Structure 1
Amino acid sequence: MHAHCHNHGNKPQSKYEEALGKYNTEISDDEVREAVKKIIAEKVHENDNIETKKFLMGSIELTTLKTTDSETSVMAFTEKVNQFDEAYGDLPHVATICVYPCFAKTVSETLEIDGVEIACVSGSFPSSQALIEVKVAETALAIKDGATEIDIVMPVGKFLSGDYEGVADEISELKQVCGENAMKVILETGCLKTASNIKKASIIAMYAGADYIKTSTGKLEPAATPEAAYVMCQAIKEYYEETGIQIGFKPAGGINSVMDALIYYTIVKEVLGEKWLTNKWFRLGTSRLANMLLSEIEGKETKFF
């Protein structure tokens, strides 16, 4: 028996507790708040320019997740992305169209623009409260119908009750279903409350197979916050230093202004650096931002999407 598997005769440490042990997860909410305040005060203004806004346009995951979505509305939504290319050829197209799995086929049959990913929220979004068999089936069907990326919600209830192994098992099982397709794990940071929890959830999700970690579903308040983004980026950075594996970051929910987007961009730039400032590794989950960015880039009120 190896002594290191045991913490003083108690039950053996799970491999996730062992993984968490390599990171500092005892972080103070106040320190995070101060660090974010400093970044916003000192650094955001230098990114408030047209170049950055054009870049942000190309990082948008244009999202429709409404009860009222239909094949007709999703087709029209996708056509907008096709037409954008013609209307604004000098601007980058959005990174992704994000829809429910029942519309993956509609998007993949309508989309004509190369390089736009088709993301589906899966695994009983937004609650993640379903049997794993249902989550597996939904994910596999989304991919079969043309989804190139999958966004799942971490089982938050399991996490909060301390069942880290259960959380990790679900994530890794769904990653197996995704195979080569990128999988984003939504932490629903508003439910996690503390910086320490957000850091732990980030690390567990990455170890279990997340290709991206994402702040929120946008269906609960509070959604994304700069503080949560800071902690998640810190976790991505430490995970990269520890493993050499680069993980993407996606703030989503509550991105209500161009300034909000610039703040997330600046946090990524300051914590993670240039290597993450591409539309592969940094994504923004939002729809309202597209017209706002367009208006600022064009210098006039523009409603395209």
Structure 2
Amino acid sequence: MEKNEPTQNKYDAALAKYNTQLDDAEIAAKVAKLIAEKVPGNHTEEVKKFLFHCIDLTTLNTTDSDESVMKFTQKVNQFDNEFPDLKNVAAICVYPNFAEIVKDTLEVEDVKIACVSAGFPSSQTFTEVKVAETAMALMEGADEIDIVISVGKFLSGDYESMCEEIQELKDVCKEHHMKVILETGALKSASNIMKASILSMYSGADFIKTSTGKQQPAATPEAAYVMCQAIKEYYDKTGNKVGFKPAGGINTVNDAVIYYTIVKEILGEEWLDNQWFRLGTSRLANLLLSEIKGEEMKFF
């Protein structure tokens, strides 16, 4: 047991630098106040165009096929021709076995290829399998990797195993951005979300992301608020800048504007760039496009 003590303490020591004892009701009240006061002023065309440019356009269906993913990617290619005045989505997000199809089909510049990996969405498989899957996704053309923390290990207090696995996967990703999904709906409390955010950043996350979209509740403004607070405090203490990605359950333009507002108010203008802010969704693209164009659009 003694041999493990220093490593165990390393993670507790990292957490000890932050206030992780948060009051859920207090967070909910702060979020409600922020939404009421700040969101209405952000419902502008400029903000909606920016949000569109932050979308990780996602297809993660059991029914996905080479053909359906190719068509999905071709829509992104066509977008530039049909809407020359708008900036395209930030990335296309698919399962790892479709990375090559996206790479071969994608013709537009500045749209990244993101792959969910490492036993997504449950994260319940061997670390060796997670490493292999991530390496293969990168080899097939992924620019970015989205992984899920080992939620069970986190909830049972085994921070060491959880963090070492994230570090190992970051070593595989090297310079490629690795987004770490906390699955906030399973974490239940603001304190757990704060702890998981800090540990993920400490272990090498380039982005922290709310949810897989496969478990309810998915993204919530309260979880986003806590995660952005964690990013800010981590940046203030270490100088390391980490991105934020809400995903799952972003069903309306207003939802997206709420997340934009939280990022703007907590992290500031510096994070309002699609290098540091993404939205994981498929539904939102048409909704934003419809509001920007003032008519119903079913482009994607």
Measured against the shorter chain, the TM-score band is over 0.9
Indicate which of 212, 216, 226 corresponds to 1:217.
212
* Structure 2 residues not aligned, in runs of 5+: none
Which residues of 2 match residues 240-255 of structure 1 at below 5 A? 240-255=235-250
Distance 2:177 2:294 in 1: 35
> Which secondary structure does the structure 2 equivalent of 1:238 belong to?
helix
Distance 1:283 1:156 in 2: 22
2:77 maps to a residue whose letter is N
Indicate which of 224, 228, 231 corresponds to 2:226.
231
When the two chains are superposed, the root-mean-square deviation of aligned CA atoms in Å is: 0.9
Which residues of 2 match residues 2-81 of structure 1 at below 5 A? 12=6, 14-81=9-76
In structure 1, the residue matched to 2:118 is 123
1:270 maps to a residue whose letter is E
Distance 1:33 1:127 in 2: 27
In structure 2, the residue matched to 1:85 is 80
In structure 2, the residue matched to 1:190 is 185
> Which secondary structure does the structure 2 equivalent of 1:241 belong to?
helix
In structure 1, the residue matched to 2:281 is 286
Distance 1:252 1:15 in 2: 30
Distance 2:62 2:141 in 1: 21
Kindly provide the CA deviation profile for residues 117-144 of structure 1, in whole angstroms up to 9, marking residues without a partner as x.
1000000100000000000000000000
Distance 1:275 1:15 in 2: 30
Kindly provide the CA deviation profile for residues 88-135 of structure 1, in whole angstroms up to 9, marking residues without a partner as x.
011010000000000000000100111101000000100000000000
In structure 2, the residue matched to 1:142 is 137
Deviation, 1:263, is 0.2
Distance 1:17 1:166 in 2: 13
Deviation, 1:31, is 1.0
2:59 maps to a residue whose letter is T
Kindly provide the CA deviation profile for residues 126-174 of structure 1, in whole angstroms up to 9, marking residues without a partner as x.
0000000000000000000000000000000000000001110000000
Kindly provide the CA deviation profile for residues 264-301 of structure 1, in whole angstroms up to 9, marking residues without a partner as x.
00000001000000011000000100000000000001
Number of equivalent positions: 296
2:178 maps to a residue whose letter is M
Deviation, 1:14, is 1.8
* Structure 1 residues not aligned, in runs of 5+: 1-5
Distance 1:47 1:266 in 2: 7
Pair 1:266-2:246 in alignment = no
> Which secondary structure does the structure 2 equivalent of 1:213 belong to?
strand
Distance 1:284 1:278 in 2: 12
1:197 maps to a residue whose letter is N
Distance 2:169 2:239 in 1: 22
Which residues of 2 match residues 97-112 of structure 1 at below 5 A? 97-112=92-107
Equivalent residues of 1:152, 1:183 under 8 A apart: yes
Deviation, 1:236, is 0.1
Distance 1:105 1:155 in 2: 27
Distance 2:272 2:11 in 1: 29
> Which secondary structure does the structure 1 equivalent of 2:274 belong to?
coil
> Which secondary structure does the structure 2 equivalent of 1:266 belong to?
helix
In structure 2, the residue matched to 1:3 is none
Distance 2:30 2:228 in 1: 13
Pair 1:276-2:268 in alignment = no
Deviation, 1:191, is 0.2
> Which secondary structure does the structure 1 equivalent of 2:39 belong to?
helix
Deviation, 1:19, is 0.4
Equivalent residues of 1:14, 1:165 under 8 A apart: no
Runs of 4+ with >4 A deviation: none
Deviation, 1:17, is 0.5
Deviation, 1:84, is 0.3
Distance 1:271 1:184 in 2: 20
State the TM-score, normalizing by the size of structure 2.
Answer: 0.98
Q: Identical aligned pairs, as a percentage? A: 69
